[in-house]
Amino acid sequence: MISTRHLTTLAVALGIATALPAQTFTTIADTTTPIPGKSGNFELFSSSGSIDAAGNVAFISTPGSSLPDYPYTYTQYPGIYLKTADGLSRIADHTVSGGEFKAFSGVSIDDGRVGFRATDAGNSNGLYFYNGTSYTSWANSSTSIPSGSGNFDGFGASYLRGSTMTFIGNNAGYTQLGIYTTDATGTNTVKILDKNTTIPGMAGSYGFSSELAVTATGNIAFAANTTPGVMTLLGAYSNEHGLVTLANTSTAVPGQAGSFSKFESPPDLDGDLVLFKGYFNNNAGVGLYTQDIAGGTISLLVDTSMTALGGTGNFTGFGGFATDNGHIAFLGNYSGGSAIYLYDNTILSRLIGTGDLVDGHTITSLAFSQEGLAGDYLVFRAGFDGGSGIYSTMLVSAVPEPSTYALIAGSLFLGLTVWRRRKSS
């Protein structure tokens, strides 16, 4: 019996596009949007945005020109902005009371609340939580490293999920580097694992990338290595299964000969489903794959041997990707362009791409990230001649065209006929 999962894979291989009901795209902010509380318009967006399951969006904007030394003396500042049903607001820059920061990175949003990394006026790095009215410092250079010695000096990725922030932190000399969680009080910081943790099923200890995948239930997935350089393994942690090595450079690649040559950070998670990017054939090919957080069978979603729906030829690579609420979205590249694709209800469809119009602008570039999908909402950044913007949409499930199944059925019939003749001979 051929499943709809296999029918979709065949459709991708045949280059058959499926019908996607009309999507409505909302402009969160673009380079014609006035900056809340400031003069002038936005110039650049340094992130593609983070969205929550209610459609609230947080993003970072930076000046379009070279940043002068702090303190800033002009109208454009790096800042974090929040778009909700109540409108667009500025929640942090160097002028906001209680949030006087000069640099930002790693914004994430959940239930309208925002977590982010920032550098304050005194050059101290920290993780911060904005609850809609005020800020809390969850970890900074005064925070002791749990199950270690001394204090944190720097932070990699941070992810707000419910009332917990999960992050990568290190000391000044990087002799201590690990994955940690903390709560809203900022006093209950816990080590999950660090660079001295033994890797399950492998020799050596971890070297981490700067990004993670995290769920509200505490599941974590990450790319890592045993020596500095290429990410050579994929790991996961859950309360149910503990620490697991999911794949490494000895793991066979589905649909290809040989093993994975490296993995790219970050993976993503939807419950117990891990979505990751893996390279093969000495990095000449790349694909997106899924696997259970406990390990086991790896399934191919899409790779560079498949036709790019709505594009030219095969996929040439993949940008950001994300999974949540049963949806999978990814940025796929092809000759002369790129598009964001949605894998939903076992159907792969093209959502929006270069050459398409959004809010009257012809898209010339796209950016999408792991933080860009939550519930039924998706957010991305689009570039166009003379500017760029952050846009969101509520996902509409794809419906296969009758001709799609007819062509697939015809291809299956032809394949089965050839197979039977070969078997008879």
Strand, helix or coil at 411? helix
2-11, 286-295, 366-375, 407-416: segment of lowest average pLDDT? 2-11
The answer to whether residue 144 scores a pLDDT higher than 90 is: yes
User: How far is Cα 283 from Cα 285, in angstroms, rounded to an integer?
Assistant: 5
Residue 99 banded pLDDT, cuts 50, 70, 90: low
pLDDT at 73: 45
3-state secondary structure 53-105: CCCCEEEEEECCCCCCCCCCCCCCCCEEEEEECCEEEEEEECCCCCCEEEEEE
Residue 399 banded pLDDT, cuts 50, 70, 90: low
Any idea which architecture 24-400 has in CATH? 7 Propeller (2.130)
User: To 10 degrees, what angle do helices 402-424 and 4-14 make?
Assistant: 90
User: How far is Cα 220 from Cα 201, in angstroms, rounded to an integer?
Assistant: 18
pLDDT at 422: 37
pLDDT at 6: 38
337 closest CA partner among 360, 364, 357: 364
Average pLDDT over residues 356-361: 96
CA angle 400, 404, 409 (to 5 degrees): 120
The answer to whether residue 362 scores a pLDDT higher than 50 is: yes
How many CA within 13 A on the CB side of residue 236?
31
Residue 230 banded pLDDT, cuts 50, 70, 90: confident
Average pLDDT over residues 161-179: 91
The answer to whether residue 169 scores a pLDDT higher than 60 is: yes
pLDDT at 423: 37
Give the whole-number percent of the chain exceeding pLDDT 70. Answer: 83
pLDDT at 183: 83
Residue 11 banded pLDDT, cuts 50, 70, 90: very low
Mean pLDDT of the chain: 85
Average pLDDT over residues 377-394: 97
The answer to whether residue 192 scores a pLDDT higher than 90 is: yes
301 closest CA partner among 329, 335, 334: 329
- pTM for the predicted model, two decimal places: 0.87
Is the Cβ–Cβ distance between 161 and 182 less than 8 Å?
Answer: no
The Cβ of residue 180 has, within 10 Å, a number of other Cβ atoms equal to: 25
Residue 34 banded pLDDT, cuts 50, 70, 90: very high
Of residues 422 and 354, more confidently modeled: 354
Residue 70 banded pLDDT, cuts 50, 70, 90: very low
pLDDT at 105: 87
> How many residues in the chain?
425
Lookup result for tokens 């999920």: 161
Q: Model confidence over 295-341: pLDDT tens digits?
A: 999 999 999 999 999 999 999 999 999 999 999 999 999 999 999 99
pLDDT at 419: 36
Q: Model confidence over 342-357: pLDDT tens digits?
A: 998 789 999 999 999 9
Q: Give residues with Cβ within 8 angstroms of 93, minimum separation 6.
A: 77, 78, 79, 80, 99, 101
pLDDT at 12: 47
User: How far is Cα 106 from Cα 49, in angstroms, rounded to an integer?
Assistant: 10
What own/partner pairs with CB < 8 Å and gap ≥ 24 does 69-78 have? 70/94, 70/102, 70/121, 71/121, 72/102, 75/35, 75/38, 75/39, 75/40, 76/35, 76/38, 76/40, 76/43, 77/38, 78/46, 78/102, 78/103, 78/104
Lookup result for tokens 């499943």: 3
Does the bond joining 68 to the residue before it have cis omega, within 30 degrees of 0?
no
165 closest CA partner among 125, 220, 210: 220
pLDDT at 64: 62
Go through 343-367 and write b for each residue having 16 or more CB atoms within 10 A of its CB, e for each that does not. Answer: bbeebbbbbbbbebebeebebeebb
